[in-house]
Structure 1
Amino acid sequence: MVDKQGDGPTRWSDVLPRARPQPFDRPSRPSGRPRVVGLLVHSLAERQGAIVDSVQAVCREVGARLLVRHTSRAEPGRAQVVQFLDAGADTVVVAGGDGTVRLAAGVLAGAGANQCTLGILAAGSGNVLASALGLRRGSVSGRARVAVLGDLADLDVGLASCWDEHGQPVAPQPFCTMVGMGRDALSVQSTHRRTKRVLGPLAYGVAGLGQLPRRGFEMSWRTDDTPWRRGRYWSVLATNTPLLPGVGPLRAGAVLADRARMDDGLLDVVATRPENPGHWMAIAAAGLLNTRTATRGLQRAQGARVTIEPDQPLPVQADGDIICARARQLSAEVGGHVAVHIGDGRLD
């Protein structure tokens, strides 16, 4: 922690000399009062009682009916959201992490962006999307109010299609923040559920440090129909958010895709190919200082579709979930969008 004169304690991220890019191009808009609210609670979320009570209090205030469902290993979220829609829900609040949110967002985007809105109560191990949207601060009751009544913004929902090591297609998977291949995905794959429960977001950082000194993989990638780029990459990510996850004193994360907006229908590529520790230092500086200058060991691009082909089968991660253990190809694009609550939740 650092003390600023007269302001008390703050985070390291508050004094870094960079401007945090806004996640949306278009302004938010007021939301209406919901009639039926579905609350999806991850089975391992902390303070579940407080979460349910807080959402119930907001629903009682506006006269909405609340439906509560919990996830399980057999039903991680999709089926519950379908049940909410069948019951007439016009708002679904997810109390969980990025994996649970992406499953819910995929169902809502498929049902039509105007049918049901999405509220997020960060209660997972990563919560990258909630951090990017500024939804992690405040009390449970305050965040519940935003999740039900906050202003609305259109959030792009990506669709990732993979082909496994035998060339067979894998069922497409939704994502809200990022999808990719390389050492980043291997870090996710090696992070155990128990470790995530104990360490939270730091668990991914610990796993990532183990992958940091290792060599990258020969991969080719491109956006849309542009020429292929080929090289030995540590990681290739297609991201929907300018903010990538961080740990420790830099918990706010690094801005490596500064042009990324979550409502523009495009994906931004962040491809890292460091050859020495100096390249890693340059990449870290670029993320922390939010620089747009060319950076050694870092390639960036933007497009409507991103295709990645490794020379050997590699795992694919989407929002912190492994969606294919051994993939020969990954194709990602924006498949739809959903209206997400991000405002302060004040009633008119």
Structure 2
Amino acid sequence: MSDWTLLALAVALCLILIGIAVALVLTGPGTRRGRDARSRPERSSFRRGGEKRTPRRAGIIINPTKFDDVAAVRQELTEASRALDWAEPLFIETTIDDPGTGQARVAIEEGVDVVCPLGGDGTIRAVAVALAGTRTPMGLLPRGTGNLLARNLDIPFGTDITEALRVACSGRNKSIDVGWLELDPVEEPATEDTGQAEEPIEGPPVDRHPFLVMAGMGLDAEIMSGTSEELKNKVGWTAYFVTGGRKLFVKRFRVRWSIDGQEQPEVRARTILFGNCGTLQGGLQLLPDAAYDDGLLDAVVVAPKTILGWGSVAVRVIGRSRKDAAELIRTSGRTYTAEVDEPRPVQVDGDVIGEASRMRLTVDHQAVIVRVAGTD
């Protein structure tokens, strides 16, 4: 195999890892596809005997920074709700101090039938905190750069949020796991992440962060932290390709880690990732055994030394091989710890939350109910 072929394979893997890093290219079905996406008849329009039931109502948690005209968006969603025989939604906007957790709790107290985060992945994570452990479903109205969870659950995203609202109002319920990441010690955050752990909504930066897709340390977070908001605003998620090309050979770091209390052999990694799901764009499977409802987190250590090592990783991922090697270690468990010598950037669902030298990861089995396309 020529050096040029190996370089091409390395570049291909770079694109894969960029997708992992921001979780922007995660697509499709995960491990279990929903049934057909036909429009669902309103299941609660009438009581027995023909008595009309009070229309159902959605609580929509809006991140106003995602829209130029919030009033127009509210009007559009109100009209779409009425077309579905639902009442006018309860609209609550997020704030800098509270990106969605407190608003979701208010919506639950108001008795809404579904809580819909309308924004990016940070808004979804914040709302998921309030819904974890409740019977109130979450209906995704994705309007961010990544739309990570929506991509994995086949929920419509893009400019037409009314189709996503239809799924939120008339889809079927799917219980998914929630991963939790604790940082120790907590370093100064790259961005504010208040309101995205159980408590407090306000105050010092939190040290317990939820994630619904992937969390990691190393190359993935380096790419995220090295990509400017200006470039993302101009070209969208493809901005990460530019950074990824520069970060391909980020220095390896020593990782001491454990799985469910059992110490693992020390590794020198370029990135270590923990995921609820592992299917990438085009059906590529970095974590082929991952499922977002099995009560487990799957992990992968990517540790190539040279371009030949990158080629080996690329061949295994592209070829859907379940065989691991020194460059690619995959496993699963319920609780992980990972410790490094120097603080490094950490990301959850594509958002860099700060730096830490130690991580602890756990999972809550099927803690959140999400509305997905299809019928019961």
> Shorter-normalised TM-score: what interval?
0.7 to 0.9
Q: Secondary structure at the match of 1:329?
A: strand
Q: 2:227 aligns with which of 191, 207, 211?
A: 191
| 1:23 corresponds to 2:33 | no
C-alpha offsets along residues 257-278 of structure 1, whole Å, 9 cap, x if unaligned?
Answer: 1111000110000110011112
Q: Are 1:106 and 1:175, in contact at CA under 8 Å, matched by a contact in 2?
A: no
Residue 328 of structure 1 aligns with an amino acid whose one-letter code is: S
Q: Provide the identity percentage.
A: 31
Verify: 1:120 aligned to 2:140, yes or no. Answer: yes
2:343 alignment partner, one of 269, 292, 313: 313
TM-superposed CA distance for 1:89, in Å, is 1.9
2:4 corresponding residue in structure 1: none
> Which among 163, 176, 180 is matched to residue 159 of structure 1?
180
Aligned pairs for 1:3-152 within 5 A: 22-23=29-30, 35-45=56-66, 51-60=73-82, 61-109=84-132, 112-114=133-135, 116-136=136-156, 139-152=160-173
The answer (yes or no) to whether the contact 1:38–1:92 under 8 Å persists in 2 is yes
RMSD in angstroms over aligned alpha carbons?
Answer: 3.1
- Change in CA separation of 1:332 and 1:122 when aligned onto 2, cut-off 3 Å: same
Preserved CA contact (<8 Å) 1:254 1:284? no
Q: TM-score, normalised by structure 2?
A: 0.75
- Equivalent residue number for residue 246 of structure 2: 210
Alpha-carbon distance change, 285 to 32 in structure 1, aligned in 2, over 3 angstroms = farther
Contact residue 101 and residue 128 of structure 2 kept, 8 A: no
Asked if 1:270 is matched to 2:292, the reply is no
CA separation of 1:113 and 1:252: change in aligned 2, threshold 3 A: farther
Write the letter of the residue equivalent to 1:335: D
- 8 Å CA contact retained: 2:142, 2:161: no
Q: In terms of Rg, which structure is larger?
A: 2
Q: Is the 8 A contact 1:165 1:313 kept in 2?
A: no
Query: What is the CA distance between 1:46 and its match in structure 2?
Result: 5.0
CA shift for structure 1 position 79: 2.2
Call closer, same or farther: CA 1:340–1:45 in 2, change over 3 Å.
same
2:271 paired residue number: 235
State which drifts further: 137-146 or 300-309: 137-146
TM-aligned CA deviation for residue 291 of structure 1 = 2.4
Other-structure match for 1:182 = 218
Closer, same or farther in 2 for the Cα pair 1:309/1:170, shift >3 Å? farther
Query: Aligned partners of 1:74, 1:170: CA distance in 2, in Å?
Result: 12
Structure 1 residue runs without a partner (length 5+): 1-12, 14-19, 245-250
Q: Give, in angstroms, the shift of residue 253 of structure 1.
A: 7.3
In the comparison of the two structures, how many residue pairs are matched? 317
Instruction: Quote how far apart the aligned CAs of 1:101 are.
Output: 0.9
8 A Cα contact 1:268 1:303, kept in partner? yes
1:83 to 1:148, Cα distance in 2 relative to 1, 3 A: same
Q: Which has the higher strand share?
A: 1
Instruction: Give the conservation status (yes or no) of the 8 Å contact 2:102–2:130.
Output: no
* Residue segments in structure 2 that go unaligned for 5+ positions in a row: 1-15, 17-26, 45-54, 188-204
Q: Does 1:332 align with 2:358?
A: no
Q: Deviations over 1:168-203 (max 9, x none)?
A: x95311110111111211222223333322222223
Amino acid at match of 2:128: A
Q: Kindly indicate whether the alpha-carbon contact (under 8 Å) linking 2:216 and 2:273 is maintained by their aligned counterparts in 1.
A: yes
Q: CA deviation at 1:146?
A: 0.8
